[in-house]
Chain A
Amino acid sequence: MKLDPTTLLHKAPPTDGAATRPYLTLAGISKRFGQQQVLSQLDLTIGKGEFVCLLGPSGCGKTTLLRQIAGLDIPDSGQIVMDGRDITLLPPAQRDYGIVFQSYALFPNLTVADNIAYGLGGARRDKQHRVAELLALIGLDEIAGKYPAQLSGGQQQRVALARALATSPSLLLLDEPLSALDARVREHLRREIRSLQQKLGITTIMVTHDQEEALTMADRVVVMNGGRIEQCATPFMLYREPATRFVASFVGQGNWLAARSRSTQHATLGDVSLLLPAPHGTAAGSGLTLFIRPEDLVLHPRWPATPDAVLADITKLELLGPIYRVSLHVPAWGAANVVADITHAQLAQLDISPQQRVPVSLNAARLRVFAGEETQHD
């Protein structure tokens, strides 16, 4: 999965949405289907106007969680409070949300205008006025009379969005809304949905399995796995400081290195001693796993002054478009195999090719430390 870290760094000022007034509170949500525990004891608070993404692999429970919020299912235990009202057991029609499904579920026999007006009551004039307003909002004024089958995927998606927003709900639920579209349209709609959400200030929850989508759109990302929340953080924090091994391996790329703790803040990686960014809290001599992003490995054109540089064998050089990915074998790090990402400019400066050796060091401040020596992650 390609991920350009530089774009992420721009979003650096972390806005913690939960700090604003809580709008939706999930407490102790559990759900099982037969023998399978799909959600276990989930707690989540979402602030007013926040854009939250539920991210995770298929089967992690993210869609199930969205269905509990939408009232398409009820949790076995736990409580859902929306705007101070307990909605746990209320049918969908008595909640207050608009929803866009992966399939869009546009009514095929109704025109775009009729689809958008479907949930609207009141006088004909008012409805027409509102429909025109929404069509302008999604930038599709000219297709009001067309049927869904006559629209492109991206247009259908926007009509579904307009229909969900027509009744001015206070919560917008999006279930993998972009997954049926091709890459270019998807990228465009990401920006469009995000700016629409910000313009309307509507609290939004989006389910996705696409990490790039989650990282670029959301105020906060909830990473789920096996029915639990692994981490709930801003995209920046999620990428920089993954809280668990799962988050580290699921979001972006990274290298796993087996190490051993030496003192409260020092570890031994092969022949090298490292100062860790924070005390790790395990006993001296116990096994540790270090995690570092490919862009935090530094290749040097000549032997550097830093004491912890070691020699690495270059095994492969891959062009990924904007960057190169260099595969390395590092004997001094316990014979670890790692990858490092470098820019075209860096490569030109390094002047390296496979089968060569190159000095490498790591940016120890960016290390994440996990207990145990397990370095196998998929």
Chain B
Amino acid sequence: MTSLSTPRRLAASRDETQAGALLWLLLALLVVAVLLPLAAILGQAMLAGDGSFAGLAPLRDTLAQPGLARAAGGSLQVALATTALVLPLAYGYAAALTRVALPGRALFRLLALLPLLAPSLLPGISLVYLFGHQGLLKSWFADGSIYGFAGIVLGEAFYTFPHALMILLTALAVGDARLYEAARTLGAGPLRRFATITLPATRYGLVSAAMVVFTLVVTDFGVAKVIGGQYPVLAVEAYKQVIGQQNFPRGAVIGLLLLLPALLSFAVDRWLQRRQGTQVSARAQPLQPLRQPLVRLLALLYCSAVGGALLVLLGTAIAAAFIQQWPYQLSLTLQHFDFDLVDGGGWLAFANSLKLALYTALAGTVLVFLGAWGSSKLRTAGTAGQLLHALAMLPMAVPGLVLGLGYIFFFNHAANPLHGLYGTLAILVLCSVAHFYTTAHMTARTALAQLDGDFEPVAASLKVPLWRTLWRVTLPTCLPAVLDIARYFFVSAMTTVSAVIFLYTPDTVLAAVAVLNMDDAGDTAAAAAMATLIVASSGAACLLFALLSHCLLARSQRWRQPL
């Protein structure tokens, strides 16, 4: 008999050993793709201008720069203003979608999610066309005052609206009709019911949405780059330091600053998730949407106004892409799509983006699903599984700009054996997978968590190898989530500009980067055309995935429908 002191371990079967090795391999990949680049930023932030180690001195010097303090102040202001604007707007929109019998509900939901298809540069371009120096409505913002604070806030509001909406939709979708009935029998009016039932039940969602909007605004540089004018914000400052002045240590310090709100929001979110628990008991009665004609009319008007504004911002850039010379010569043309006339990368950039999106979707989905499966379903996952899960959460807290900086510092280092990756499409794929890993991982984990935890033990008792159960049961039952993950990777890789801006070369230039560079060079119409291509291909991808999902569900998911 073994003594108590000897730690015993169950012998692993062959498939479990293989799966364990795979898990360690995935973990190593995440370390290279996420952890080491971040560590490289920390290291870089401690170097003096000549590359010698200087401890905390560069950090102090950079923070003492008056420009940086102004940029930090500017970022804080636009982020707070955007949050204050978006939160009530999105809350009202979400409430109308979930709590009111709104005509055309699906359409309004789709409309509000459209901004996800566009790079954050697009609202900037639209705002220029609407309210800029040559804008149709330039009188609304006198003397070009759209360039700066107002423009950034409006653009960021467009960019962050769907993110806030998705969180609030989830928060508002659940509710217990019994509570409202009880309140009504006790004589509480609509305002009192809202203040005592709806608001408290959704407060976690509100905080979560606020954190997401705030972080997105602070770390995004697309909107500010296009419409920000001379208004200082941190993200643009980091971009200028690295791309413009090649001052890497200073870029690294700003990168570290950008990490702060993201880390804070990440911590708050974790804390909320622990506190939240299950708010709605299993016996909760589903809510009946409000049907009073007046409420429905008001909701319809409200959603039309908000959704219409989003559509105008999206549509202006698209319209401008097809118009001869905005706003003087409004005849239609395709000449702006002839990118050979302008710098920026042209059709090569678009082809590269499609390739990047495709490879990211493929590689990302496979890696994420295997990682999520291994870390949650493998009996022998152990340390590797826990580490992988923890590391998978990290990219959420790392702004793309920071990740991109880290990639320069890590991969561009001569001593790095992976140095050869620098400047290839492969590093762009790796960076994009890492950048969007968390959301995909969470989606996969959620889908896997819904499967019965006893599938693997049953299969093991039947002596069926893990791989066969993964292929025959786990993957087919998670197929909708898998398609969702692939679509998410595709669209994100198509629209992102922040991480890849530091990593592209003339050969691997991307569409979103081209938008930025064309706009920078004053070719706004070409930038609008390229942005339109991005929206069109993300939209087409979404349609394609929806179609694929529909067909696959109909064919292979018959089991979901009870007879």
Contact = CB atoms under 8 A, between A and B. Distances in A.
Interface in B423-463: 452, 454-455, 457-463
A308 B477 CA distance: 70
A146 interface: yes
A70 B563 contact: no
B17 to A, nearest CB: 10
B82 to A, nearest CB: 44
A94 B1 CA distance: 20
Given A74-B10, A91-B11, A167-B463, A105 B458 contact: yes
A99 interface: yes
Nearest to B458: A105
A103 B477 contact: no
A51 interface: no
Interface stretch (B96-104, B297-305, B389-397, B553-561): B553-561
Interface SS of chain A:
loop
A99 B462 CA distance: 9
B559 A109 contact: yes
Given A74-B8, A91-B13, A148-B559, A110 B473 contact: yes
Contacts of A150: 562-563
Contact of B460 (A27, A92, A101, A109): A92
A192 B476 CA distance: 33
Nearest to B16: A91
**Residue of A103, A105, A169 with most chain B CB atoms under a 10 A cut-off:** A105
B472 interface: yes
A148 B458 CA distance: 16
A107 B557 CA distance: 12
Contacts of A163: 458, 462
B12 interface: yes
A90 interface: yes
Contacts of A169: 461
B11 A92 contact: no
Contact of B455 (A78, A107, A146, A167): A107
Contacts, number: 104
B8 A93 contact: no
Interface string B475-487: 0110000000000
B459 A146 contact: no
B184 interface: no
Nearest to A74: B10
Contacts of B52: none
B2 interface: yes
Given A70-B457, A92-B460, A109-B476, A149 B560 contact: yes
Contacts of A94: 11, 13
B457 A101 contact: yes
B559 A149 contact: yes
Given A76-B8, A107-B455, A110-B473, A92 B558 contact: no
B563 to A, nearest CB: 4
A143 to B, nearest CB: 10
28 contacts: A30-B4, A72-B457, A75-B8, A89-B8, A89-B9, A90-B11, A91-B10, A91-B11, A91-B12, A93-B460, A93-B463, A95-B461, A98-B461, A99-B457, A101-B458, A103-B452, A108-B559, A108-B560, A109-B477, A118-B459, A118-B462, A119-B462, A119-B464, A147-B559, A149-B559, A150-B563, A164-B461, A166-B462
